[in-house]
Structure 1
């Protein structure tokens, strides 16, 4: 059928109201639009549905014969819509998500909020993990979906690129580096370094780029290695050292002394991906969550 539900709904409403103006008001459309919809339906069906004069509207014999089957189409459609909404509202299940800590505290809450509007009864379990742990969790099926880097390609995992997350210098206002107009890596390495633990994407990128710049990692003063970026920010805040961290790292009011600076000769970034096992279980919910992530970045 070329013309659809709007034309059928217009026909059924006029038959019920026996008045074009009242039907148009009920459908929240103009009388001219309603007339056009009826003309379109009549042209497709090849019959006249209504006899109309200045005083009244009456349904034709052909229109009366078609009223019940056309109304049943609307009823079936309305029932299907009600059923689909009810199904979505009552879907039960669990999604497990492994995500980098920076993403967990910034982008993830909004993704979950959007997902919950459609699947309010689905439980979401979040694991804050480093890059290597996320890949392993996705590969072994511990989680349904991962948000992280893909340090090593794996045939068992599908990767979909999300965005580039640049690395920047985080330094205390009390540190003289904060007042430098231009900062080079040689300036940064003059101060104690606060790094994330081995296995994190940040420390891997740091080590790789330091070597490419010709520096010996053995000669670098690593004062602390931490798991969470919030811990690194706390140490930077009291000027224990400096840290090279992702641009996405949130700096809250708990760290009033922390400022960000770009390093002129150090411009690496990490690519953030959605990671899924190729043969994932709970595929419907996982796909729904993945699509929300991809559409809201």
Structure 2
């Protein structure tokens, strides 16, 4: 049965080729010369060619040896790089992370978490996608993302949800809107009679509003429905319309110039957190980024307390 060429044999071959002498190469490898000679002989027997022309004083590469040398050097170098990468992967200093996040979760949690993460992990590559709640789960479920950040919606047996923070709903509108000028908390009944922009059924905000009894069709079946912050901003920028949104959404750059008013009970809030696959353990680097997201969330909670 034919044996495979070993890394040890290639390492010995390169050492002898570079040293031009078995004794010198054996010293550099910390091997006994007979052991080194036997290793080279086994390599030559495996390849079926003579690699060295030997003399009493030195050895020279044969034509076959000269052809093999750059290949052996490249293979050994590639192996060294691979081992280094694997050690870096295991220690969390190297690797690749793919994350998918809802825009509000990205702005409030993931972006500052990445800023802190890359300071200590400059060699780690990160791919970021932004998506709605359902699409976040689809990416995690299909393994195209290591983990996601979004709000809790319907339970999925293949996924785990870890709550990081609670985000309450309120009203966002132009500064000159009549509801913006009212004092104190707004009551849900006060929203009646105004043009409200709602959310499409695939958004977590719409699902949360649907679950609250007695809110009325103006909120659960709105005339205007949007699925993104961009379209929401376009719909309410005139100052005529308003919308019920989570506080983290109201803090996004596109909406920061608008007024945000808290709503009185029934208090409606969403849980925002990490989404993982149940059957897939995070890599060391992905786990460290997830931990950075937890740290940012704890800071947010402390700052708002």
TM-score band by shorter chain is 0.5 to 0.7
Aligned twin of 1:146:
148
Relative to structure 1, the CA distance from residue 220 to residue 153 in structure 2 (aligned partners, 3 Å threshold; closer, same or farther) is closer
Q: Which SS does the other structure have where 2:233 is aligned?
A: helix
1:222 corresponds to 2:202: no
Q: Which SS does the other structure have where 1:102 is aligned?
A: helix
Aligned twin of 1:180:
182
Aligned twin of 2:133:
131
Deviations along 1:26-82, one digit per CA (max 9) or x if unpaired, are xxxxxxxxxxxxxxxxxxxxxxxxxxxxxxxxxxxxxxxxxxxxxxxxxxxxxxxxx
Aligned twin of 1:99:
101
1:169 corresponds to 2:171: yes
Aligned twin of 2:214:
213
Aligned twin of 1:78:
none
Deviations along 1:205-246, one digit per CA (max 9) or x if unpaired, are 12222xx025235996523x2232243234323224111111
For residues 255 and 237 of structure 1, the distance between their equivalents in structure 2, rounded to whole angstroms, comes to 9
Relative to structure 1, the CA distance from residue 96 to residue 193 in structure 2 (aligned partners, 3 Å threshold; closer, same or farther) is same
TM-score by length of 2: 0.61
For residues 229 and 219 of structure 1, the distance between their equivalents in structure 2, rounded to whole angstroms, comes to 19
Residue 274 of structure 1 deviates from its aligned partner by 0.9
Relative to structure 1, the CA distance from residue 213 to residue 265 in structure 2 (aligned partners, 3 Å threshold; closer, same or farther) is farther
Of stretches 214-223 and 117-126 in structure 1, the one that deviates more from structure 2 is 214-223
Aligned twin of 2:236:
236
For residues 254 and 198 of structure 1, the distance between their equivalents in structure 2, rounded to whole angstroms, comes to 22
Q: Which SS does the other structure have where 1:248 is aligned?
A: helix
Residue 125 of structure 1 deviates from its aligned partner by 1.2
Relative to structure 1, the CA distance from residue 241 to residue 164 in structure 2 (aligned partners, 3 Å threshold; closer, same or farther) is same
Aligned twin of 2:203:
200
Aligned twin of 1:269:
269
Aligned twin of 2:75:
none
Relative to structure 1, the CA distance from residue 269 to residue 282 in structure 2 (aligned partners, 3 Å threshold; closer, same or farther) is closer
Residue 280 of structure 1 deviates from its aligned partner by 2.4
Residue 286 of structure 1 deviates from its aligned partner by 1.6
Aligned twin of 2:67:
none
RMSD over equivalenced CA pairs, Å: 2.9
**Segments ≥4 residues shifted beyond 3 Å:** 86-92, 216-221, 250-257
Is contact 2:198-2:222 (8 Å) kept?
no
For residues 143 and 217 of structure 1, the distance between their equivalents in structure 2, rounded to whole angstroms, comes to 36
For residues 108 and 241 of structure 1, the distance between their equivalents in structure 2, rounded to whole angstroms, comes to 30
Is contact 1:175-1:239 (8 Å) kept?
yes
Aligned twin of 1:292:
292
Is contact 1:174-1:257 (8 Å) kept?
no
Q: Which SS does the other structure have where 1:159 is aligned?
A: strand
1:191 corresponds to 2:211: no
TM-score by length of 1: 0.63
- Number of residue pairs the alignment of both structures matches: 211
Any gaps of 5 or more consecutive residues in structure 1? 1-82
Is contact 2:99-2:145 (8 Å) kept?
yes
